[in-house]
């Protein structure tokens, strides 16, 4: 891709990050391992995620014109770097595929009971491919409009929930009933990677930022904000449904929202949640997809556009073949979250930061 022409503005990166973070996480029962303290574990995960992101931002500051795969090859050398870069591309494709499977299955569960999973996935990946065919800039600009839509749906639903009087704060109490241990275990197993560690994919897009100085700050602030929103949503779910139902429901936001009923006129607005789900899954997958595409086109010097359809095919089949059932898919995802992903999201970046420090000190002294 031609870096000179593609520019992502601050507003756009704000909404893109927001939609990416909220993505699927808004709808699923995030951090429910810790019971009614799920909101707390999300907040802790958010803080850890921010800390990790500081590392990514540091690398970006060092090499503002290079993407992750770019400086990997610079720091690790031509061959090892290329291998690691290929691994990252595979990671992004895998994440996109998993996300597609998540989204499609949740849609089938939520509304489209009789539509085949494959058809839904195909439609989703095709529209994603179309948008990315138009370019990353178009993706970011599109996210601006849908970010506003998602936020207004959120505000609307919250107001309606409050007005219909289904919120019971007592469901959240007592805090830390079983001590801090379940919260920490949930953080370790899930929350520090999902969804905040996935910000690694933004390292592929950050070279396109129009404002190099403020860009990382905006992304960080958005991460924090979306952590707050996620935690708030989870608290809302628990306070409406109670920890027990929220824990058992695969998509706790749906039953929460369906509690809205105002004088028998506005009721069952859960279609709005489905819309938020579709938008979130779409943008999350699109970011992974774009990250994979940018990596591929940089690695092999291929034109970005030619890769869109082959890669979308790979993602589609990854999503279809990765598990036989949704349960297996979730099981697998849970394992990946604390075994494989940390290697890519923590270990490699940490090595890169170390190397860049060493390089920085050993590099020949500047004149003057």
Which residues form the interface with other proteins (CB under 8 A)?
A: 1-2, 4-7, 9, 11-12, 107, 111-112, 115, 120, 123-124, 127, 130-131, 133-135, 137-139, 141-142, 144-146, 264-265, 267-271, 274-275, 278-279, 282, 305
Query: 137 vs 322, which CB is nearer to other proteins?
Result: 137
Shortest Å distance, C-beta 233 to other proteins = 19
For residue 20, give every residue at least 6 positions away whose Cβ sits within 8 Å of its Cβ, in sequence order, or none: 195, 198, 199, 201, 202, 283, 284, 287
- The span from the CA of 224 to the CA of 186, in Å, is 19
- The span from the CA of 268 to the CA of 264, in Å, is 10
Query: 107 vs 188, which CB is nearer to other proteins?
Result: 107
Residues across the chain: 368
Q: Give DSSP secondary structure letters for 267-321.
A: E--HHHHHHHHHHHHHHHHHHHHHHHHHHHHHHHT--HHHHHHHHHHHHHHHHHH
Shortest Å distance, C-beta 124 to other proteins = 7
Shortest Å distance, C-beta 85 to other proteins = 23
Query: 65 vs 268, which CB is nearer to other proteins?
Result: 268
Shortest Å distance, C-beta 311 to other proteins = 16
For 145, other C-beta atoms within 10 Å of its C-beta total 10
Query: 35 vs 97, which CB is nearer to other proteins?
Result: 97
Shortest Å distance, C-beta 113 to other proteins = 10
Shortest Å distance, C-beta 154 to other proteins = 16
The single residue listed with the structure tokens 């990677």 is: 193
For 267, other C-beta atoms within 10 Å of its C-beta total 14
Query: 268 vs 335, which CB is nearer to other proteins?
Result: 268
**SS3 call for 54:** helix
Query: 138 vs 151, which CB is nearer to other proteins?
Result: 138
């Amino acid at each position: 891709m031609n870096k000179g022409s593609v520019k992502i503005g601050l507003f756009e990166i704000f909404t893109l990050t927001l939609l990416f973070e909220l993505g699927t996480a808004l709808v699923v029962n995030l951090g429910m391992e810790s019971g009614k303290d799920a909101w707390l574990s999300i907040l802790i995960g958010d803080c850890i995620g921010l800390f990790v992101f500081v590392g990514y931002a540091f690398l970006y500051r060092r090499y503002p014109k290079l993407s992750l795969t770019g400086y990997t090859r610079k720091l690790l050398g031509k061959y090892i770097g290329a291998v690691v870069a290929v691994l990252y591309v595979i990671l992004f494709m895998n994440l996109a595929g998993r996300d597609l499977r998540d989204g499609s299955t949740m849609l089938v569960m939520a509304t489209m009971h009789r539509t085949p999973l494959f058809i839904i996935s195909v439609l989703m990946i095709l529209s994603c491919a179309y948008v990315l065919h138009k370019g990353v800039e178009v993706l970011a600009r599109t996210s601006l409009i849908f970010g506003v839509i998602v936020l207004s749906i959120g505000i609307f639903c919250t107001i309606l929930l409050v007005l219909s009087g289904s919120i019971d704060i007592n469901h959240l109490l007592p805090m830390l009933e079983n001590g801090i241990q379940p919260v920490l275990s949930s953080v370790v197993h899930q929350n520090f990677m999902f969804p905040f560690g996935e910000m690694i994919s933004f390292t592929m897009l950050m070279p396109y930022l129009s404002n190099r100085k403020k860009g990382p700050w905006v992304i960080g602030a958005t991460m924090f904000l979306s952590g707050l929103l996620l935690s708030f949503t989870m608290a809302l779910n628990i306070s409406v449904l109670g920890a027990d139902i929220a824990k058992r429901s695969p998509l706790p936001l749906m039953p929460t929202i369906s509690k809205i009923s105002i004088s028998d006129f506005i009721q069952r607005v859960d279609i709005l949640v489905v819309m938020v789900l579709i938008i979130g899954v779409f943008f999350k997958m699109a970011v992974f997809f774009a990250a994979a595409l940018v990596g591929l086109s940089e690695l092999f010097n291929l034109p970005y556009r030619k890769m869109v359809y082959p890669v979308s095919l790979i993602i589609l089949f990854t999503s279809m073949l990765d598990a036989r059932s949704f349960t297996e898919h979730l099981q697998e995802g849970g394992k990946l979250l604390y075994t494989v992903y940390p290697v890519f999201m923590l270990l490699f970046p940490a090595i890169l930061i170390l190397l860049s420090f060493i390089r920085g000190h050993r590099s020949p002294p500047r004149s003057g």
